[in-house]
Amino acid sequence: MSSRPLSVVQRVPLPQGTPEYEALRQKYLSELEASIPDEYYLPQSLIDNPPRDVTSVPRECGILTAEEIDITENYDATALAAAIASKKFSAVAVTTAFTKRAAIAHQLTGCLVEYFQGEALERAKALDEHLEKTGKTVGPLHGVPISLKEHMPIKGHYTAVGFLDTRHIDDYDCQMVAILRAAGAVFYCKTNQPQGIMHLETVSPLGRTLNPHNIDLSAGGSTGGEAALLAIRGSILGIGTDIGGSIRGPAGFCGIYGYKSTSYYLPTKDFLVGGFAAELTVLCSTGPMGHSLRDMDLFCSVVKASNPHVEDPALIPIPWTGTATAPKTTPLKVGIMWNDGAIIPQPPVKRALAWAKEQLETKFPGKFEVKSFVPYQAAEAMVNIRKAYWPDGGNAVRAHLSATGEPMFHLTEWILKDAVSEEELPVSKVLEYRVARDVYRQKFVADWNAQDVDVVISPVFVGPACEHETAFYWNYTALWNYLDYPGVVFPTPIKALKKGAEDYAPEDATPLSEQDKHTRELWAKGDFENAPINLQITTRKYHDNELFGALAALQEALALP
């Protein structure tokens, strides 16, 4: 038993709820605290006065051995799987390294909601024994640690759908977990997600997740716990879900890879028991988050090789060819989307777009045809998207909150403003939204064809990772959910500069909308120093393989890890 409670860095306090809610919240926090060995506790002085950038703390704090630092910092999942298979590292050694680093990461960023090191080590030990006895791995992910977003069911552990009243222990693995477990994965923690799983910041009853690169900035949402844990190298591979940017936003904020598949391409069975009303118009999808393009490819190849459509008839049985997919055109036609017609992205993002354009035009002349891309009436589409998210008027949210006296968080209030009314919409209105969506998709693809592009590179967000409680505008991710286009967020070498070092270009001096004006006010007020700047690449619906083929073609020019 530790002589002091586990302390976690928190920059902005959480709203207070009823005594019943606060007692329940404290119960879960105490369980999490009890699961983390006190020898992994960071000094209280560090928690009280953390550096703004905490990414180097795990390496420097003295808790990890030299080998554990090597394992967690110098390998991607593909290399680790090979190292375990060759017996360079045992699964136990790898699991120990990542579970220790995850415990450190949580104290610095608030990224975890559940931690089960003992169970993970038992699994790793069994995998080592199997390899020693048979000379074979159990599968391509033998011994690879994988972290999970809280709402994904795994047997014997908590699941919740963004509210405290929904938290319960599952007695089964969801389909995705079962596939990965059969491939040899080791599960060791669950990560934080926001209230209602519908914010682009991760702040829940169990805490606020901070960005490891700058703890005064958001880690994004709704898969922000995963993104922060990956960014500080407490995870090598994670899984997210995305209905408005929930994989891509956090990946962009934290400087890692994130892939949102086309809907019903990768398995989401049992991810949200009871469903989500927004999916009557805008479909959710899933995908991996990680450190390298080949890890994204490995994850998808493992999942698709299991033929998940045999178990879930909703899935589309398109085989995975991934990065081995040959581009259909030469040169590859790359559109650059400079803005969406509503919000001009903040200066570091525009700088990253300009960098990408220059790289493609100068590194390999003739290999890429680069052109500007203007998204068809994107600003108008966003109006319909926001309406479509809340066909129940937000009644389900309010019911969950009232069940335990959970307070409504600031960003929950913000997103519910988009609901047309507080009443459930009639079927005729939901049908109207679906028809409008389908008409828009048809017009968008006609315009895409007219602009003659294979892929589009665009911003991930209106700026770098935003300051806490300011993740207001989902434009650059939600558009692609509405279209159901697959997208990958990838890192660039661009980072936000010191406050005052850059500003909007003269040609961007005039705001395009009130949202744009507000975004400029947030830029002027904020300090985004050291925030990673990622970009997003998208293509047509169910062209997921072609998307990865394009990334493979772009990899050298854009220096993609």
- Residue in 147, 222, 292, 458 annotated catalytic: 222
Counting beta carbons within 10 angstroms of the beta carbon of residue 56, is it exposed (0 to 12), middle (13 to 18) or buried (19 or more)?
Answer: exposed
Got the DSSP string for 63-113?
Answer: -S-HHHHHHHHS--HHHHHHHHHTTSS-HHHHHHHHHHHHHHHHHHH--EE
Strand bridging mode 455-458 / 332-336: parallel
Residue 525 falls in the annotated catalytic set: no
Strand bridging mode 532-538 / 487-495: antiparallel
CB atoms within 10 A of CB 166: 16
Distance CA 191, CA 550 (A): 31
Counting beta carbons within 10 angstroms of the beta carbon of residue 500, is it exposed (0 to 12), middle (13 to 18) or buried (19 or more)?
Answer: exposed
Strand bridging mode 186-191 / 145-149: parallel
- Residue in 100, 149, 304, 350 annotated catalytic: 149
CB atoms within 10 A of CB 507: 7
CB atoms within 10 A of CB 549: 23
Residue 246 falls in the annotated catalytic set: yes
Residue 204 falls in the annotated catalytic set: no
Alpha helices in 307-394 (DSSP H): 347-363, 378-388
Counting beta carbons within 10 angstroms of the beta carbon of residue 388, is it exposed (0 to 12), middle (13 to 18) or buried (19 or more)?
Answer: buried
Distances (CA, A) of 83 to 64, 80, 201: 19, 5, 35
467 DSSP β-pair partners? 217
| Structure tokens that stand for 454 in this block | 């294979």
- Residue in 246, 263, 306, 458 annotated catalytic: 246
Distance CA 398, CA 412 (A): 10
Catalytic residues: 149, 222, 246
